Chain A
Amino acid sequence: MRSYTRRKLLDSLVRVLCCGAVVLALLPLVSVLGYVFVRGVSGLSIAFFTELPKPVGEVGGGIANALLGSLEILGLACVLGIPLGVLAGVHLAEFGSSRFATWVRLAADVMAGIPSITVGLFVYGLVVLTTRHFSAWAGAIALALLMLPGVVRSTEELLKLVPESLREAALGLGVSRFRTTLLVLLRTAAPGIAVGVMLSVARAAGETAPLLFTSFNNRFWAGSLEEPTASLPITIYTDAISPYAEWHERAWSGALVLVSLILVLNLASRLLLRTRVKAS
């Protein structure tokens, strides 16, 4: 039998080690966010959001084309990915006891872990090779594929949380299955699903690797969705690895914009979740 003090000491030691682990895990986050803010904020100006990048050596200019390109690609990806993902999630939640559904569930989970660069390779072969040019479309398809697993699984989980009594009540009134799902279940679960969708979009917004050889890059405005299109993550990447100090500054400012967007999406989804928990 070990003495009481020894057991107490061991317990305290583990407690301290665990606290230390938390501190160690948080340090990089503080450092990254701190540096992005401090080094990025000086480069922000109206011109940064409204002008095209200037060539090396000229002062001023912005990354407006990359911002617009990112919005285009991300918007298209949402249009492609969200309805597909939500409907697939509905299938898993409402008709999901079949073997087929188990396979789909597994596929969605596995897909969430596929490296984003291989998704880029896939879309390159599927879209870029067939159309013979890089395009915003190709980038959007790649991002949609990356969003898909998150949207599918969060829709399924949230629909399963809707009380069974609601389903029975609607069906008991003679409402069709289709209208029950659309008007009762999806509406009840909507805030939760929105959270899942927002987190998936936030993830896709920062993805760089799948855009490298799908939407590629463009130093000017892209004329249409059929052309290579600049995007915020790719611009940050090319600026960061360039040898020019002005471009490095631009990369930090771009990173600040990107990180702010993603933080806002994450915080908003968290607030939404909290109000929802309180309401129920």
Chain B
Amino acid sequence: MASESGASIDRARAKAQTRLGASVNWGDVTFRQLTALCALGVLLALVAMGVEMVRASSDSIRHFGFGFVSGRVWDPVANVFGALPFIWGTLASSCLALTIAIPISFGVAVYLSELAPAWLRGPLGFVIELLAAVPSVVYGLWGIFVLAPWLRASVEPLLARFLGFIPLFQGPRYGFGMLAAGLMLAIMIVPTISSVSREVLRAVPTELREGALALGATPFETLRIAVLPHVRSGLLGAIILGLGRALGETMAITMVIGNRAEISASLFAPSYTMASVIANEFSEASAELHLSALAEVGLLLFMVTLLLNLVARLLVWQVGRAPLGGRL
């Protein structure tokens, strides 16, 4: 590790300097101090974010307490705020997105790290990551004019005809709603999950694969026997990172989910997410309590994603660090 040896060089230098009676290089000390200050800035920014969110939502926390997360009525006119429909919308759309995105992302990751010919891996990985580079608002634009009309005209009638006996696929079909939001989110988190899981798969030493292949295993069996057992937690980390992205996604979802604060069993019905309600109402809210309630929705989102990211990072870091049996 460069950093550790860097520190040991520093120590050796300091020792030599004191022995030689040389003075401390104040330029270096200042430089080190300055970089430390910048690093502290990063840490402080995160802490300040948390503090500010709590401050902004203190009114609402005092006023509603735990009822805030279980209340089903969101009525700015009557000053009654319950965030349950938004929490539901966020969780449901994210779960739907994960259901669609996980198999696809793992397929992509396995293809990129195990199956694809070497010359294709780089360019294909780059193209998949471009999916993450397209701005959310452009996805939203595409969602309004391409995805939602397509869902309304082709997909939803088909689902209703063949699977209409399940409550998930009943009710009026708008195109805009939970299904569109879930699909959109799936598209947006596939690059996250697949690129993290590809990195995790790559962290497995080649010797393990070679061992399995030498014993006569097919590539799929190699993956199952030699690779997957070492990367379970890393793959879980990749999924959690994807979930974190899905929970916080704002613009694209706001543009296709229909923005109606209702809890419905149907995937065709419009819904509303936590991020969307902040985006839609925050700049128009004037009542103190309304602003505070929106800030509390933001605080919930902040805390949940903070926690998820912490867990995911630890899981992914673990794979990079674990001894993994045969590493030479």
A residues touching B (Cβ–Cβ < 8 Å)?
A: 7-8, 10-11, 14-15, 17-22, 24-26, 28-29, 31-33, 35-36, 39, 83-85, 87-88, 90-97, 100-101, 103-104, 106-119, 121-122, 124-126, 145, 148-149, 152, 159-160, 162, 164, 167-168, 171, 176-178, 181, 202-203, 205-209, 212-213, 216, 233, 236-237, 240-241, 248, 251-252, 255, 258-259, 262-263, 266, 270
Point out the residues of chain A lying under 8 angstroms from B45, CB to CB: 107, 111, 145, 148
Taking a contact as CB atoms under 8 Å apart, the answer to whether A116 and B142 are in contact is no
Known contacts A15-B115, A87-B35, A216 near B283 by CB under 8 Å: yes
- Residue picked from B104, B221, B275, B308, most chain A C-beta under 10 Å: B104
Point out the residues of chain B lying under 8 angstroms from A241, CB to CB: 144, 255
Cβ of B3 < 8 Å from any Cβ of A? Answer: yes
Chain B: interface secondary structure?
helix
> With the chains together, A108 CA to B142 CA distance in Å?
32
> With the chains together, A156 CA to B244 CA distance in Å?
24
> With the chains together, A35 CA to B150 CA distance in Å?
14
Cβ of B95 < 8 Å from any Cβ of A? Answer: no
Taking a contact as CB atoms under 8 Å apart, the answer to whether B28 and A97 are in contact is no
Point out the residues of chain A lying under 8 angstroms from B170, CB to CB: none
What's the tally of chain B residues with a CB closer than 8 Å to chain A? 96
Known contacts A118-B302, A167-B9, A100 near B278 by CB under 8 Å: no
Taking a contact as CB atoms under 8 Å apart, the answer to whether B137 and A110 are in contact is no
A84 CB to nearest B CB, Å: 5
Cβ of B165 < 8 Å from any Cβ of A? Answer: no
> With the chains together, A252 CA to B10 CA distance in Å?
55
Point out the residues of chain A lying under 8 angstroms from B247, CB to CB: 115
Known contacts A126-B52, A237-B140, A178 near B31 by CB under 8 Å: yes
The 3 closest A-B pairs by CB, nearest first: A115-B248, A21-B107, A206-B135
Nearest-CB residue, chain A, relative to B278: A117
Nearest-CB residue, chain A, relative to B188: A28
Known contacts A115-B301, A121-B53, A207-B135, A104 near B142 by CB under 8 Å: no
Taking a contact as CB atoms under 8 Å apart, the answer to whether A11 and B218 are in contact is yes
Name the one of A84, A92, A252 contacting B141, with C-beta atoms under 8 angstroms. A252
Known contacts A18-B111, A258-B135, A91 near B39 by CB under 8 Å: yes
- Residue picked from B46, B48, B140, B190, most chain A C-beta under 10 Å: B46
B18 CB to nearest A CB, Å: 16
Cβ of B4 < 8 Å from any Cβ of A? Answer: yes
Known contacts A18-B115, A104-B43, A122-B49, A181 near B31 by CB under 8 Å: yes
B residues touching A (Cβ–Cβ < 8 Å)?
A: 1-7, 9-10, 13, 25, 27-28, 30-32, 34-36, 38-43, 45-46, 48-49, 52-53, 55-56, 103-108, 110-111, 115, 124, 126-128, 130-131, 133-142, 144-146, 187, 190-191, 194, 218-221, 223, 241, 244-245, 247-251, 255, 275, 278-279, 282-283, 294-295, 298, 301-302, 305-306, 308-310, 312-313
B147 CB to nearest A CB, Å: 9
Name the one of B3, B137, B141, B302 contacting A96, with C-beta atoms under 8 angstroms. B3
> With the chains together, A168 CA to B56 CA distance in Å?
50
B126 CB to nearest A CB, Å: 6
Nearest-CB residue, chain B, relative to A31: B146
A228 CB to nearest B CB, Å: 11
Name the one of B3, B35, B46, B145 contacting A248, with C-beta atoms under 8 angstroms. B145
Name the one of A21, A35, A233 contacting B111, with C-beta atoms under 8 angstroms. A21
